[in-house]
Amino acid sequence: MTESSQHDLFASLIDDLANQGWSQRALFAPEVLTRELAAECRKRAHSGALNAASVGRGGAQQVQEGIRGDRIQWLEPGQSAACDQYLQHMDDLRQALNRTLYLGLEDYECHFACYAPGAFYQRHLDRFRDDDRRTVSAVFYLNDDWQPEQGGALRLYLADGREHDVLPRAGTLALFLSADMPHEVLPATRERLSLTGWFRRRGEGPF
């Protein structure tokens, strides 16, 4: 991706976020990188490195598959060349968001997420009641040849009462305001892979 094409892509994402609170773009990252990330996620899943995701925070965290059924592992710098390239791409986006929208985003955190067939995540918001750091949510999809009849959409509940479904097709990025956009993950008939993350600002409390 050239610097010019990255600039145009980021500008369109940021314009949408400012005007409607969410955005969706195909081909957010180079296809080669998307394939490498998908392979990395599958490798981790098949080796047992992904763990059942919990709901809640701190001591209140619980695994409740009736609410959330994905398995996850957090990304850390230095784990693989593909992961480092993706983290750099997202940091470039963080800086663009700050330059344009003055959001004060300090960092980005993300994890691989693998949903087995039939798994889902009920409607929720990404910002915790006692932690206001999560500001912009970003979901990047890794699934080749995804068909609408396979389900698995990210369903966004928009402010005007409409619903918008984002199919988890490889290369698609969904971006939305963490505190304002209720959403859910619908069950699918095949394994569903993504990188799910949050751009975070400095919090008001000692988190």
Count of domains observed in the chain? 1
More confidently predicted of 18 and 1: 18
What tens digit of pLDDT does each residue of 81-96 get? 999 999 999 999 999 9
Residue 141 lies in a domain: yes
What tens digit of pLDDT does each residue of 20-61 get? 999 999 999 999 999 999 999 999 999 999 999 877 655 555
The lowest-confidence range among 123-127, 168-172, 202-206 is 202-206
In this structure, what CATH number is given to the domain that contains residue 190?
A: 2.60.120.620
Q: Read out DSSP for 127-157?
A: SBTTB--EEEEEEEE-BTT--GGGB-PEEEE
Residue 32 burial class via C-beta count within 10 angstroms: exposed 0-12, middle 13-18, buried 19 and up: exposed
Please state the pTM of the whole predicted model. 0.92
Residue 22 lies in a domain: yes
Residue 19 lies in a domain: yes
Residue-level pLDDT at 64: 62
